[in-house]
Amino acid sequence: MEKTLAIIKPDATKRNIIGEIISIIENSKFKVIRLSSMILTESKAKELYDIHSSKPFFDALIEYMTSGMIVAIVLEKDNAVKEFRDLIGDTNPDNAKDGTIRKKFALNQSNNSIHGSDSNENAIKEINLIFN
Ligand code: IDP
Ligand code: MG
């Protein structure tokens, strides 16, 4: 079965909505197969977002992602990568569809509550990065 990595980001763990977010995920028929809370090291955060290293928001993104606890979750479902991206919604909550996690919880385009892998290849890389 296909796997993807979800990360409940620091803005969400700070607002006591971990349970609500996991409920939405489970109610959408994703199976939680691994789950761990942690504070990301700067080095892991930089590797996770390596593709954005030349963007103007990169330093702020690393600062934010290491600013508090995250909850990393390996999810399993048929077509997990795409289905989970659909469930989380657009990066910018103003553009996210109704019923998506980011529409419901994201504060803005940066503090957007949840991460989801964008390809099978990245899902495998990210799961190895976070859980090793
Ligand atoms: P994604 O999380 O929907 O895949 P990406 O464009 O890959 O979005 O960006 C990764 C993360 O970087 C976003 O989830 C968000 O936290 C942050 N980010 C993206 N674009 C911006 C921006 O324009 N300003 C500030 N932060 C951003
Ligand atoms: Mg992305």
At 20-75, the pLDDT tens digits run 999 999 999 999 999 999 999 999 999 999 999 999 999 999 999 999 999 999 99
Name the residue of 46, 55, 108, 112 whose CB sits within 8 Å of the most ligand 1 atoms, as the mutation to test its pocket.
112
Angle between helices 80-88 and 18-27 (to 10 degrees): 130
Question: Vertex 129, ends 127 and 130: CA angle to 5°?
Answer: 70
Q: Are 30 and 77 in contact (CB under 8 A)?
A: yes
Q: Are 75 and 3 in contact (CB under 8 A)?
A: yes
Take atom 17 of ligand 1 and give the residue whose Cα is closest.
Answer: 110
Is 52 an active-site residue?
no
Nearest ligand to residue 90 Cα = 1
Gap between the Cα atoms of 41 and 66, Å rounded: 6
Domains and CATH numbers, the chain: 2-131 (3.30.70.141)
pLDDT at 132 over 90: no
> Ligand 1 center to residue 130 CA distance, Å?
18
Residues 95-120 pLDDT 10s: 999 999 999 999 999 999 999 999 99
